Structure formats: C-alpha cells, structure tokens
Amino acid sequence: MTNPVQNPHLHDDTDLPMEYLVSAERALETEMAGLSALRAALKDGLAVPFQKTCDLIQNIFGRVIVSGIGKSGHIGTKIAASLASTGTPAFFVHATEASHGDLGMITKDDVVLALSWSGETQELASLVAYTRRFKVPLIALTSRADSTLAKASDIVLKLPSVAEACPHGLAPTTSALVQLAIGDALTVAILEGRGFTVQDYKVFHPGGRLGASLKSAKDIMHGGDAMPLVPATTLMSEGILVMSQKSFGVLGVVDELNQLVGVITDGDLRRHVTTNLLEKTAGEIMTKSPKTVAPSALSASVLELLNSLKITTVFVVEDGRPQGIIHMHDLLRAGAA
C-alpha cells in the first residue's frame, strides 16, 4: 500500500514560520491605532460634521446615495447595505457607472455620501458636478479637508490620517477599516435616532436563521385547544390522558381564573409514580411558578431559555393566562435553532 501523496505546501505545525504571526500582530496593532484615532476625532473636529450628517440623513425625503471606487467603493457598498437594512433607504452607485447613465438614479430629495480617502478620485468628478448642478446635498468622507472633493461638499467627514497596515503603505488596510467603522457609527447613530426597534429590523430581515430568530413567540406558538391545560382540581387519571393526547410532554395547570399556576412534566410523573399517582389532583403533583415567556419574546430568547433550563417546552403567558405553548421542535422548524 502506497503512502498518500503529500502536498508540498502543507507543513507540520512546528514548521510554520513565526514571521506570519509577527506580521499579523503588527497589522492588528496598526489598525487598532487607526480606530483609536477615529474615536479621538469623534470627540474633537469630527463631532460637529458627524452630527450634521446624522441630522441631514434623518430629515431627507429621499435616499442616501453612496458612491466610491476601488476599496472605498467596496466599503461604500457595505455602508449603503447597513443603512438600508436599518430603516434608512440607501443604495450604492458606482462612481464610474454614474457618468454612464446612473446619475439618473439620483433625485433632488436624496443626499450623496462620496467616499475617497485622498479626495482626488477623478471618477467622482461627474457625480460631484451633478450634485452641485441640481443642489443635491453632498457629504464627503475623506482624509483631506483641502481636497477637491472636500471643497465641493456641503459636509466634510474628515477622517484622521492613519498608517496603513501594509508595510509599504500602499494597500488600503487601516484606511479602509476606518471608513468602515465611521460608516457603522453613522448607521448605529441614525437607527437609534429614528427609534428603530427589533420589530422594525424584523421587517427587513425575514429570511434565513436571522429572520427566524427575530420571530416572536406568538408567531410560532400553538394556541387554543392545542394547549395541554387542566384545572388544578383535575385527577391525574384524567390529566395523564390530556398530557398524552396533546403530545407536548407537559401539562399546564390553571386555577379558577385561568391563571397558569403550575406545570406537570414527565419528571413530576416519575417522582410520584409510587404514591397513588392516579388518585392525586394536578394541583398536588404540579411544579409551582413555572418559567414562561411573553408573546412578544423573540424566538432566539425562547431558545436560550429552553437551553439554559434544559427543558423542551415552555408556555406563552400574558397577564398570567396561557396564550400558547412552544416546543423545541417548533424552534427547529422555524429555523431559529
């Protein structure tokens, strides 16, 4: 039997050169310094234009048009996506495509956010000229306040000069991260200023596991006759039948006001199996003050509760009264687990 062919590019862990880790650590430290400089700028010269930008974006009737080219373009795409997903209509227009017809996407009700680290990106010229001609507000995101872009803009978000993590100072690394960070800061500040809620977020993220985790308990619970409920005075000979018929592995116990006062689980049955179980009432067997969730609880929170308590079922309760029941399998089917 022959030995499998060895990949000459794969090495044993002991052969890995430490220079890789040294380079990585240096890159991270350089980028961390860039973020620290950005944070300091927000407490100084960047504070006023940042606030003006937030006010402008919150009060426009149109959309935020983000533009850039190269790495700034990639960052701009992400900024536009983040704004759009958190309640601020936005989209990205490539700086080159703008001069080939995409300027028609921009209206007088919009605001343009142009990204250029140097502020001298030639491809932005037609976009800048268009905003000046039709009086569309222009925000510059640049590191140079004396640049062509900055001088033409209504608001200048001047980013601090930072050292690139690239040892040659050429590849946009720290600069791209700083652009990304200020974009995230704008997104968060604006969504909080709008009072954007989890339920609002849910509207824009209906798909995938994220969408599933944003569903509320009332969206996935079983209600009405599907709930395994009995009065506290019910004999366990009947209670076990209800428990079996409903197939949730649990029995809810309510008082005369239909308030959930306890639950009975398989564990409770096993603990009382030798004590004339069938002759006892549900009130005698139940575990009092059970854990419950509200109808508005997110499915992600329900999942965390089930996992932390090592249980598979929980009742959905409002004002003390059971509204529904959720099993772990419901969370699995919804995609939240």
Q: How far apart (Å, rounded) are the C-alpha atoms in residues 39 and 46?
A: 9
The two three-digit tokens of residue 205, written as one number: 């993220």
- Residue 32, SS3 per DSSP: helix
**Which tens digit of pLDDT belongs to each residue from 61-113?**
999 999 999 999 999 999 999 999 888 999 999 999 988 888 999 999 999 99
Higher pLDDT, 280 or 177: 177
pLDDT of the residue at 55: 96
CA distance 257 to 231: 10
pLDDT at 205 over 60: no
Tell me the C-alpha to C-alpha distance, in Å, between residue 81 and each of 20, 84, 321.
Answer: 33, 5, 42
Domain ranges of the chain: 18-196, 217-334
Structure-block tokens of residue 63: 């959309």
Q: How many angstroms separate the CA atoms of 176 and 211, rounded?
A: 29
pLDDT recorded at residue 176 = 96
Burial group, residue 52, by CB count within 10 angstroms (0-12, 13-18, 19+): middle
Cα–Cα distance measured from residue 253 to residue 239, given in angstroms and rounded to the nearest whole number: 9
The pLDDT of residue 266 is 86
Confidence at residue 42, expressed as pLDDT on a 0 to 100 scale = 95
- The pLDDT of 45-56, averaged and rounded, is 96
The overall longest dimension of the chain from CA atoms, in Å, is 89
69: which DSSP letter?
A: -
| Topology, domain 18-196 | Rossmann fold (3.40.50)
Question: Quick check: pTM over 0.75?
Answer: no
Least confidently predicted of 212-221, 277-286, 304-313: 212-221
- Would you say 281 and 302 are in contact if contact means Cβ atoms under 8 Å apart? no
Q: Which CATH superfamily is domain 217-334 in?
A: CBS-domain (3.10.580.10)
* Separation CA 163–CA 175 (nearest Å): 8
**What single letter denotes the amino acid at residue 16?**
L
Confidence check: pLDDT of 7 > 70: no
180 or 197, greater pLDDT? 180
- pLDDT one-digit tens code per residue, 31-43: 999 999 999 999 9
Closest CA relative to residue 142, chosen from 130, 151, 133, 129: 151
At 161-189, the pLDDT tens digits run 999 999 998 899 999 999 999 999 999 99
